[in-house]
Structure 1
Amino acid sequence: MDNIRSTIELLFHRQNAGSVILSHYSNSPLKYIEKVDLNWFQDAFEQDFHRYTRDEIKHIHGILSSKWMRRVYPDGSLGSSCNIFHVLLHFVDKVLLEEDDEPRCEYGQLLRWRVLSEALGEDLFTTSYLACKDLLANRNRNYFSWRPTIETNNRQLKEILKKGTTDLHFHLNGSSLNFDLNWLSLMNFISDWSAEFHELNSSKMPDIVFRFDDTLLGLHDLCIKAALIRVILFLKLKESKFKIGQNLINQILICRSEKQILSYTHLLQANIEQVKHLYGRKYGKEIVDYAIPMQLTERDLTAKYHLADTILYGERYLMYHLFKKVYTYDKDFLVYTDLFYAYLLIKERLRREIIQINKRIGFANFSDYQSRKNLFIRKGSIYEVLVCNIAINSTLTDQNIKYLEARITPAESKTGILNRITKLDAQVDDARFLVHYKKQSCLICPWKQGYCVYKQELKAERERGEFYYIFHFIKGETPREMNPTEEELLVNSRNWILRKKVRKQALAINEVRKSVHPLKKRIVGIDAASSEIGFRPEIFAQAYRFLKTYSHQAPYEFIVLPSFQPLGFTYHAGEDFLDLADGLRAIDETILFLNFTRGDRIGHAIALGLDPQKYYTLKNKTLVMPKQDFLDNLAWVLEKIRIYNISVSSQLVYCLTEAFHKYYYDIYDNCVDEAVTPDLYYKSWLLRGDNPEVYKNQGKNSEFKMVHTDFWEYCNINNFSEEVKIARQNRLARYLYKLYHYEPGVKTRGKVYDEFIVNGDYIRLIEMLQKEMRFDIARRHIGIEVNPTSNQLIGSYKRYADHPVIRFFNMGLTHDRTELTGCPQLPVSINTDDQGVFSTCLENEYALMAIAMEKERKADESLQYNQRMIYDWLDRIREMGFEQKFHKD
């Protein structure tokens, strides 16, 4: 089935949409529908799938033409006419099925389904499948509000998840229908997007500009064409008397000048507005999509307490009926088939800019997608409301999630924070997207006519799980920090602007939790997210200590203060790194500098469990990073060898020590006239949790002094462990820490990149270090937030079965005593991270882990895991999610 998957991806992604549109006006309008050019196919296949020879690709093309492009009849025979849309049916017949009028994925095919639906979206396959199925059954479908990510038919897993689940790592803005809402916003409001497309052009994938005959057309131009095609096809389906002017159609579809195309968008928008008011359903006074009919079915309106899933109704309705036209060879529609194909191609092009699909690893790649997830959603629009509304309502009900912690960015003032929470809660409970029940005999409010809001609220309260907010500080730097002046390097500490911002946010959060405002109960935790590289936990150390240890006590017994809102603490660490040692050090810094202890959680932490041999093989055993990071990692690794009493060769210790001295002298040059050993440098590293301002004016031989006037300043220094206190007594360690922050040469030279080659001894050392740290973290009772799809896409492994969670917790997976005692049994939870960006959902995460492990084999080809034990293991993880939640009942 791999060949047909690759072929489908080529046909519905690689084909040139502009050429398809031009063919609509040529003498052979169906040339891209009824035939696939061999030369184009070979070139495209060779470019995307390197494992095939040109002869093999030619044979695959032969199968495509003789089999996959032909209709399959119920008796298994093939039709005589060719059509690229039939290729979809050859795939979906094996992976999809229908239950309760909704599409489902055949559980055994889930990994195949994941690969292709991730690449092209689910609706392309589900709507084509249901269209063909309904044609055979001679029925017409009017229900299209199934969940955004379809379920599998694994009833065993479904019964486990029916007990209730939690999602503890859920970034709100990245967890909605991010692409779908962007697309609907564009298709219903196509004018005035030049600035947004210009922003997209600066960071898009390299193949996003396509040749339109002789002229290069950008994605903006193609999306305008797509908006026109969509409304044309919709009106054709509706057999509407309202028509788009043929002149406007020709001007936009044939036009090759961006300036000319843009000049027609306002006229096109005027036509779309008329179609919206003729056909579109109103949510309150707003029309989300003209393709959502005014009258929805009873099932759409009563299945859940909210209408969030109905937002996809229109696009699915449109695609379903268009596929029916295609598969029946409707003569009146035949001429529009190529336009439908072009529409799908353009939609897919934009989707690849919103959903992370490419195979590049690392957080920087994810960050490109993260920054444009809501690019085409205007502030104050109905789509902005839907981002939050769908993220919460659809997630809680579709997946039986009983408890959810949604992560949002805090404002820098108490008022700003309260306003943010008020706005988000209002968007979640927006009455336009809640099911209203007509009043029959309501004893509570008999004076109300029409709709009974009281009943609606009761249903929402009964059916929706709990959700709370976690505030996450965002790691990142301003252009000023990226290119500081010599004076700024001398006067300011590292990341000085971010430190000031975090201080303001932490103080604002604390003001809210001290207040009498009831909304403070909506905040349950603190996090710091975004790129780890260049932004160490030390930046957030004082804010975490301040929020962790702030004592809200009245100065006198007769004063009664409002209740103080407790907070839980989590931190993104060990997700993205330049070396496994670098990721492990970040986790260690999180615990040490942020004072993590029992009940706290670490997000991702994959550095703790990745297979070092596979990781370094992928890197060709060559590391590239700034010299400062090399130096810090070397000192840290050498000291951990001593602390954990790890047995390594003297040759390795000698090589690491020599490398330490090399990088130390490269960076610190002649700043210190005394010998600095790895042990002494490690002591200075221990002080990085302290506020650098305390050390700014202290000389090399000065006594340590600290004066504080408020509790924030009291948290200037880190007293988490005796080890840190002892290090602070060392005058040279303090001086090295000062140089780290305030010596311009140290900061400049430390940024220079270098490479470092590792050997087998180093790899084995990292493996032993991982194990020691896993057990150390387990002893501290710190939990790990696991995000399988996110980790697989950002991390350096590509198989769900290789996820590090198995090294964190294996109770239930095995009865072998050695394997059980060799695993730390860390508290873990399975979560989604950014389900909208990664095109997943919580049930999908459980199912993907289950099927991957069910398919895992030993060297002798026998099954690695027992199926029943896999489900037992997953059920234990599900239960641990409730144990680790920050809101306490």
Structure 2
Amino acid sequence: MLKHITDTTVKASILPFSDERFLKEDIFNKIYLSQNPYTEYREFVEKTYSYIRQTHHIDNLDYIQLLIEKYYPLRLLRNYDSNSIFQNQLNQISKCFICHRNGIFALKYWTNDCYDGMFEAFQGFSKIELWNTFSRQFCMDILVANYLLENDMKDKEYLNGYYWLINIGDLQLDRILENGIAENHMHVNAGTYFSTIWEEMLNLSNVDLDNIPVLREYGSIQYKDYIVKASIFRIISSYYLRSRIHSGKLFYDYLETLDASLTECKKIIDLMNCNKLVIDVIDFKDVYDKLLRGSSVGEILGNGKSYIHTTDENIFLFESLKYIKTTKDDVFSRLFWKYIVLKNILYQGITQNNYSTGLDYFQKYFSKATCKLNVGRHDYLKNVFLNQIYNNHLKKLEIRISPPNNPKQKNVLRKQLCKSLKDIFEVYLELIDDKNISDIVPNLGIVIHFIKEKDQTFFEKCWCIESDKDSNYFYGNIQRRYFNQINTILDIRKNIPNLSKYLVGIDAASVENNTEPWVFAPIYQVARDSKNGMLDNKFSKINNLGFTFHVGEEFRHIVSGLRHIDEVIEHFGYHAGDRIGHGIALGIDISSWCENNKIIAIPRIEYLENLLWLWGISKECGIDFNYVEQEIMKLAECIYENIQGITVYELWKAYQAKFNKFQVDEDLMNSICNIQAERCAEKILCTKVSTTAGLYWNAEKLLHAFHCKCYLERMYEVIQVNVVKSDVEYISCVQSYLKKRLNQKGIVVEVNPTSNLAISDIERLFKHHAIRLNDKGLDGNSKENGLILNINSDDPVVFNTSTSNELAYIFYLLQDKGYSRESILSWIDKVRKWGMDTSFVIADENRTKEDRRKEIEQIINALK
């Protein structure tokens, strides 16, 4: 599979910049200085193979060994020292990938002589796929610095305007995107970029290194020590790079004769013992609290007032590489490359790769990437906005924020939500007042997204126990929290004039398998209640609240993914213009999925409801699903034991009733409860009794059984089911039916290519399903392939991407499929416009900048 080949090729090519062994030892110099380099080299190859196989799928040992020998041949390692090899590898990579076009750094997507020796097999558009993987494994900033220096651009001013992103579109695509794009699917906590996190990690005076998730992950190596060393090295070497013109000393001599005026650095050097610092063996156990950060790197190296619009880190990398390329300074070079290795290792810990799929795996990256350390909320939000503003051509920006998680104290919930919104508006007002960027600040929309949460207490759902009423039924406490949150959202939209122009939608995100759509259906029904669309207290309209919902992104069975999408549009009050987040089940190739998933592990109730859903839509699909009735009854017998009164229709009615707010009938619940509770010495004792032998079931009783531990335990028992070839036909028909349904209702699908590749079971980037959702204007004529799409980034810091680059990936995918450039550009322009038109963000055509400013000031005052 190309995905695995690309991943292993990238891993091998960047080995010295990302292998933790290069933090502890100088492997290349060990071979270079050895009397028997062949023996050392074979050991290097064997250990490297073991290192790669820890995270990568490897079919062939010989292939990996040959890759290692390709990038690090013995003749190279025997004749060049470590510093030379690092520089050589960096030069080749930057020449391969980076170019400069119209004032921006862009991907060199064509082939040239320099490129042929590095990744010569990745010709044409496969280079784009290679870059997608590479950019999530290697921190880009050093490539840009190296590219400038290799092309004789030796003034740091050339970095002006560069922050983090490499543009991958070509000139014609850029011309299309200049007309404006929208970002409609971005979680604000992941809206920044890695350099922000890196800068804060190195801020030793404010950061508790024990509480950084990405550092806790690496238990075998003292990464906290390396962070301290990296921070000290960066500060001291910045002073050194600034003063070297006058002193002319090499770095090691400079450490020993440090200028007394640099008092803070001198304290650190005295404290750390400079000789031990250089040879990398010091113990920092009792030192953290004594460290104080000196001046910022930008101030030291001449960017204190940010006259160059770039990061301090970019300037530091540029000046350091310039020094290394012009001076033989082994100590500085060795420490600098260790600094880069550490940075790349942590970058890989935050930016998600393709090694494993699923939202549970993604959550590990998201939690590390969204750890804000001690950066202030204002500064963090400003970084997020600037990160998006410098994304080319952005006109509309939706950001997703989570509501405060306080289920009981409604006044506290309101206060916290108002505080979160006020923080956002204050930063946004500051940006639109900034004369340097006010013209490129996009229109803002805020989407509140609920967090999907698993009710892990179904084994405690004993109705006989006296407790909080909501805790007795399944998802009761969680649902109550969602109700409190949505009612607070609706209340402040109604009572704060003009807020509905900016607080524009609701969503639900996180692990899809945690919370099925029925839990959220009553919440969305409340949000769409017509009474919430009245005039506000200033006699102006309240804009509709847009609906979107993460669904069909991750699924145990493809039918589960399709069912969940259908449940959302059927039971949430969806109408034209509302959106589905990801919806991968709509576009995935059914035959490939069935071939790759022959046996599925699934909770019994999920499989049962899949069959009930298929049975219920059989008429609309034009397929006879009556054959599933026998399987449905078998599953029902496993859950309920006594099946008197149970029919497929009664089971289907109970399944449909789950999407309404549960109203418990205590007598009914007691009649089906198979648990008897007794009090003994203030303890509750529960014993099973036979109370259902004569029970005659109906839909209402079946619904109540869904909230009783007697049945929940058997419902959520995991079973295995087979997927056979004959399933392909009916699942394909169901998928087509659902696409037609979304098309008729005008539901929009939010597409996020890199996120979909990393999280979902997509074989490779250029097998993304976007054109299976809409191929109008290309070569497709099928009615169901006419869904409205918008393309977004999802989580920029996790996937190192932007909306413009995600559009570019689809642009190259279409070229790889062989469509004409004219039709591709027309199709991309159509999807770009859809992004603008399907955004929940209100356009500014009828409002002047001053009008918008006054609105926001009034909103801020009201939120106080």
Does the aligned pair in 1 maintain the 2:204–2:288 contact within 8 Å?
no
**Helix, strand or coil: the match of 2:168?**
coil
Task: Supply the distance in 1 between the matched residues of 2:533 and 2:330 (Cα, whole angstroms).
Answer: 76
Q: Deviations over 1:523-574 (max 9, x none)?
A: 111111111103011111122111111415999x9x9866434211111110
Match of 1:122 among 140, 143, 161: 140
Cross-structure match for 2:388:
395
Task: Supply the distance in 1 between the matched residues of 2:555 and 2:439 (Cα, whole angstroms).
Answer: 43
Equivalenced residue count is: 763
Asked if residue 667 in structure 1 is aligned to residue 647 in structure 2, the reply is no
Task: Supply the distance in 2 between the matched residues of 1:250 and 1:764 (Cα, whole angstroms).
Answer: 71
Asked if residue 462 in structure 1 is aligned to residue 439 in structure 2, the reply is yes
Does the aligned pair in 2 maintain the 1:196–1:376 contact within 8 Å?
no
Cross-structure match for 2:583:
605
Does the aligned pair in 1 maintain the 2:533–2:541 contact within 8 Å?
no
Alignment of 1:363-402 (within 5 A): 363-378=359-374, 381-382=375-376, 384-402=377-395
Cross-structure match for 1:318:
316
Cross-structure match for 2:615:
638
What's the offset of the Cα at 1:822? 4.1
Match of 1:408 among 401, 409, 416: 401
Does the aligned pair in 2 maintain the 1:573–1:603 contact within 8 Å?
yes
**Helix, strand or coil: the match of 2:750?**
strand
The residue identity in structure 2 corresponding to 1:665 is E
What's the offset of the Cα at 1:506? 0.9
Alignment of 1:220-299 (within 5 A): 220-239=224-243, 241=259, 242=262, 243=266, 244-245=268-269, 248=272, 249-250=274-275, 260-267=283-290, 269-270=291-292, 272-273=293-294, 275-276=295-296, 280-281=298-299, 293-297=303-307
Q: Deviations over 1:498-524 (max 9, x none)?
A: 101111111101111220444343211
What's the offset of the Cα at 1:218? 3.2
**Helix, strand or coil: the match of 2:370?**
coil
CA change 1:34–1:53 in 2 (3 A) is: closer
What's the offset of the Cα at 1:607? 0.5
CA change 1:186–1:809 in 2 (3 A) is: same
CA change 1:505–1:489 in 2 (3 A) is: closer
What's the offset of the Cα at 1:868? 2.0
Alignment of 1:424-573 (within 5 A): 424-430=424-430, 456-457=433-434, 460-477=437-454, 487=465, 492-551=472-531, 563-573=541-551
TM-score, length basis structure 1: 0.78
Q: Which moved more, 1:588-597 or 1:692-701?
A: 692-701
Alignment of 1:609-624 (within 5 A): 609-619=587-597, 621-624=598-601
Cross-structure match for 2:688:
none
Asked if residue 835 in structure 1 is aligned to residue 796 in structure 2, the reply is yes
**Helix, strand or coil: the match of 2:136?**
helix
Match of 1:886 among 821, 840, 843: 840
Task: Supply the distance in 2 between the matched residues of 1:124 and 1:326 (Cα, whole angstroms).
Answer: 13
Cross-structure match for 2:92:
90
The residue identity in structure 2 corresponding to 1:92 is S
The residue identity in structure 2 corresponding to 1:848 is Y
Alignment of 1:635-714 (within 5 A): 635-646=612-623, 654=627, 656-670=628-642, 672-677=643-648, 679-695=649-665, 698=668
CA change 1:518–1:250 in 2 (3 A) is: farther
Does the aligned pair in 1 maintain the 2:20–2:345 contact within 8 Å?
no
What's the offset of the Cα at 1:171? 1.1
Cross-structure match for 1:306:
none
What's the offset of the Cα at 1:763? 2.3
CA change 1:733–1:643 in 2 (3 A) is: farther
CA change 1:188–1:37 in 2 (3 A) is: farther
Q: Which moved more, 1:493-502 or 1:233-242?
A: 233-242
What's the offset of the Cα at 1:595? 1.6
Q: Deviations over 1:34-60 (max 9, x none)?
A: 999442234323624624444872575
Alignment of 1:49-64 (within 5 A): 50-54=58-62, 57-58=65-66, 60-61=68-69, 64=72
What's the offset of the Cα at 1:195? 4.0
Task: Supply the distance in 1 between the matched residues of 2:315 and 2:554 (Cα, whole angstroms).
Answer: 41
RMSD of aligned Cα (Å): 3.6
Task: Supply the distance in 2 between the matched residues of 1:58 and 1:824 (Cα, whole angstroms).
Answer: 44
What's the offset of the Cα at 1:781? 1.0
Q: Deviations over 1:704-760 (max 9, x none)?
A: xxxxxxxxxxxxxxxxxxxxxxxxxx982222111112x212111222211111101
Task: Supply the distance in 2 between the matched residues of 1:736 and 1:23 (Cα, whole angstroms).
Answer: 68
CA change 1:565–1:697 in 2 (3 A) is: farther
Does the aligned pair in 1 maintain the 2:354–2:757 contact within 8 Å?
no
CA change 1:100–1:518 in 2 (3 A) is: same
TM-score, length basis structure 2: 0.81
The residue identity in structure 1 corresponding to 2:701 is Y
CA change 1:193–1:835 in 2 (3 A) is: same
Q: Which moved more, 1:122-131 or 1:157-166?
A: 122-131
CA change 1:154–1:782 in 2 (3 A) is: same
What's the offset of the Cα at 1:430? 4.5
What's the offset of the Cα at 1:391? 2.0
CA change 1:524–1:292 in 2 (3 A) is: farther
Cross-structure match for 2:705:
739
Cross-structure match for 2:198:
183
CA change 1:563–1:617 in 2 (3 A) is: same
Task: Supply the distance in 2 between the matched residues of 1:884 and 1:698 (Cα, whole angstroms).
Answer: 46
Match of 1:165 among 172, 175, 181: 181
Cross-structure match for 1:578:
556
Task: Supply the distance in 2 between the matched residues of 1:618 and 1:664 (Cα, whole angstroms).
Answer: 29
The residue identity in structure 2 corresponding to 1:164 is G
**Helix, strand or coil: the match of 1:366?**
helix
Q: Deviations over 1:594-629 (max 9, x none)?
A: 12121211111111110122223332x111111111
Task: Supply the distance in 2 between the matched residues of 1:4 and 1:800 (Cα, whole angstroms).
Answer: 16
**Helix, strand or coil: the match of 1:692?**
coil
Match of 1:193 among 199, 204, 208: 208
Task: Supply the distance in 2 between the matched residues of 1:637 and 1:233 (Cα, whole angstroms).
Answer: 66
Cross-structure match for 1:350:
346
The residue identity in structure 1 corresponding to 2:641 is D
Q: Deviations over 1:331-389 (max 9, x none)?
A: 2x2222221121111112222222212521011111112222232522xx34x433321
The residue identity in structure 2 corresponding to 1:570 is T
**Helix, strand or coil: the match of 1:239?**
helix
Q: Deviations over 1:268-319 (max 9, x none)?
A: x22x33x43xx644xxxxxxxx66721544xx3xxxxxxxx63x2x211222
Does the aligned pair in 1 maintain the 2:396–2:443 contact within 8 Å?
yes
Cross-structure match for 1:787:
752
**Helix, strand or coil: the match of 2:398?**
strand
CA change 1:266–1:5 in 2 (3 A) is: same
What's the offset of the Cα at 1:93? 1.6
What's the offset of the Cα at 1:119? 0.8
Does the aligned pair in 1 maintain the 2:482–2:523 contact within 8 Å?
yes
Cross-structure match for 1:718:
none
What's the offset of the Cα at 1:224? 2.2
Identity across matched positions, percent: 21
Does the aligned pair in 2 maintain the 1:221–1:261 contact within 8 Å?
yes
Task: Supply the distance in 1 between the matched residues of 2:802 and 2:479 (Cα, whole angstroms).
Answer: 34
CA change 1:320–1:373 in 2 (3 A) is: same
